[in-house]
Structures are given as C-alpha cells and as structure tokens.
Amino acid sequence: MSLYVLTGGAGFIGSHLADSLLAGGHQVRVVDDLSTGHRRNLDPRVELLVGDIADPALVGRALQGAAGVFHLAAIASVARSNEDWSGTHRVNQTGSITVLDAARQQGRIPVVYASSAAIYGDQGESPIDEAASPAPNTAYGADKLGSELHARVAFHVHRVPTMGFRFFNVFGPRQDPASPYSGVISIFAARIAAGQPLTLHGDGLQTRDFVYVEDVVRHLRAGMEVLHAAPQATVLNVCTGRATSVLELAQALARIDGRPLAMSFGPSRAGDIRASLGNPAAASAVLGVRATTGLETGLAATVRSMAAA
C-alpha cells in the first residue's frame, strides 16, 4: 500500500482517481481549495487538506511520505482564464511549479499532471499527435503549456520524473453541470433530465473527442506505474481518436432518454474551436492503455448518475 497525493482531488476527474486508488488498496491525501470541488465527492477514507496549491508550505507538508503525486488542481475554465489572466496564471502555472518544486525537495517524487488539448489551439479536422507544434490561443492553454515546460525542466535539471496528459473533452458522473467550468455533456444531460430544451451554438457541427472519465483514470494510473519503472519527462494525449459533433451528441442523449429531442440553434460563440480530435497511438504505445468506453455507454452512465443524484 502506498500513499498518493492528489491535488484537485475533490473535483470531477480527481475524485474518480481517488476512488480507483482506494479500491487498489492505496492511501489517498487530497489537497484542494474546494473552489469547484466538493467534499461530498470524496470517500471518507480520503485525507483532505483544504488550501491553495500555490502555497509552498502546505504543498510541501502534503507531499511528505508520498509515493507519487497526481497534480490535477487548476482553474479549468478557458473563459475565466481569459478574464482573470494573472489570477488564473497563479493557480494554473505557479501552482504547477509549486508542486514540481515540492516533489523535488521531498526526494524526487514522480508527478503525473493534467495538461490539456488546449495547448494545441485550433487544430483542424485531422487527428493531432504530440509532435504537433503547440499553439494555444487562450490563457488557460498557455499556462498548461507552461506547466509542461516546467515539468520538462523538473526532470532534466532536477531528475523529478513527470508525465503530462493532454486531456481532450472528459465526461462522466460528477461533472458538475452547475459549474461555470462544466462540459457540454453534463449541461445537455442535466437539461434533458429536467425536460428542458437544448441550445446548440452555431450549426452544431463542431466536433470534439469525448473521453470517458474511467478511461482517463486508467491512463493516469498507468502513467504513474511507468514513471516508477522508468523515470522520464513525457507528454501524451488522452483521447479516443473519434470525432463526435455536438449535434450527434444531443441525438445520442435523446436516444438514451427515449423522448423526442427539443433543441434550438443559437449564435456561435466567439473563439469556439471548430474541430478537436486527438491521436491516441502514443499513449497506447507508452502505457498499453486505450480509451475503450463507447460514447453511448459513457453517456448512459452519466445520465443515470444524474437521475440518481
């Protein structure tokens, strides 16, 4: 049994990872300021330290005795990153450096961290792989890219093993539809559950690579194992390689709901990316893991969890 520290562990993705680590017999310590995460997401066996990820004293204390760190804490909102530019930078990039520095000081603890497909910027229709030139067009994407560069420094200068995961559009239970940072799937699923019509921005033909949260957790855990076996600094996509339009998504949710779909088209949103699609080949080669949950299976689990809530 090992102790793992999860920053942002009270959030959507982090709380699923906490459940998986506990089920594997590990101890879990979470550092979270509960700005979007919730205590109710966490199993009572989790040790929760409430505080700020950019606080070196807190993070240093939190990492004591840890076998590894999963760094997921961030302000996960593109809109907020553009409005509160320096405030978001403090959390999303200085926070990452704080974690990497504490991992160095506590004896080079391996760090698996959340990056984002946002580092690629506007991608076009073909599946993008890790060799593509990063071109973030948001403050959020720029800070995620900056965190990747510091994670590289952490390994090459300080020998701290690091693995960054460029998540595409993650979905599943516990993604909070009421949060201003929420994804389209949880918003649509909540509206359908409440019998409300959906509004699609633009023509609804913008596409995304939707990846189910349990598949993301399998990538994170495999990444930690790889770092323990072979210290390195690597970044990998976490995606399915399948493009789904927002319109197809709405139709799939309506099929699950079993009622006719009520929807309307609104104006497109400024800065909305037209297509986002990842190539999962490198993650599959390095980790031996693929995102295998079918979209409809994942959607059905998400809808069920909302009905139960």
Active site residues: 140
- Of 34 and 261, nearer to ligand NAD (C-beta) is 34
Least distance between ligand NAD and beta carbon 84 (Å): 12
Residue 118: C-alpha distances to residues 48, 110, 146, 196 (Å): 29, 24, 12, 30
**Helix (H), strand (E) at residue 5:** strand 3-7
Is there a contact between 245 and 206 (Cβ–Cβ < 8 Å)? yes
- Of 120 and 167, nearer to ligand NAD (C-beta) is 167
- Of 106 and 276, nearer to ligand NAD (C-beta) is 276
Q: Which stretches of the chain bind ligand NAD, using CB under 6 A?
A: 8, 10-14, 32-37, 52-53, 72-76, 91, 95, 114, 116, 167, 169-170, 181, 183
Which spans in 46-171 are helix H? Answer: 56-63, 78-83, 85-89, 95-105, 139-158
- Of 155 and 212, nearer to ligand NAD (C-beta) is 212
Residue 291: C-alpha distances to residues 12, 17, 216, 288 (Å): 18, 15, 7, 11
Residue 65: C-alpha distances to residues 48, 108, 110, 297 (Å): 15, 11, 12, 38
Mention every residue, 6+ apart, whose C-beta is less than 8 A from residue 89: 81, 139, 143
Least distance between ligand NAD and beta carbon 258 (Å): 27
**Cα–Cα distance measured from residue 251 to residue 292, given in angstroms and rounded to the nearest whole number:** 21
Helix/strand/coil for 66: coil
Least distance between ligand NAD and beta carbon 97 (Å): 13
Question: Which residue type, as a one-letter code, is found at position 224?
Answer: M
Q: Find, among 302, 219, 237, the residue nearest to 276 by Cα.
A: 237
- Of 173 and 204, nearer to ligand NAD (C-beta) is 173
Mention every residue, 6+ apart, whose C-beta is less than 8 A from residue 97: 147, 150
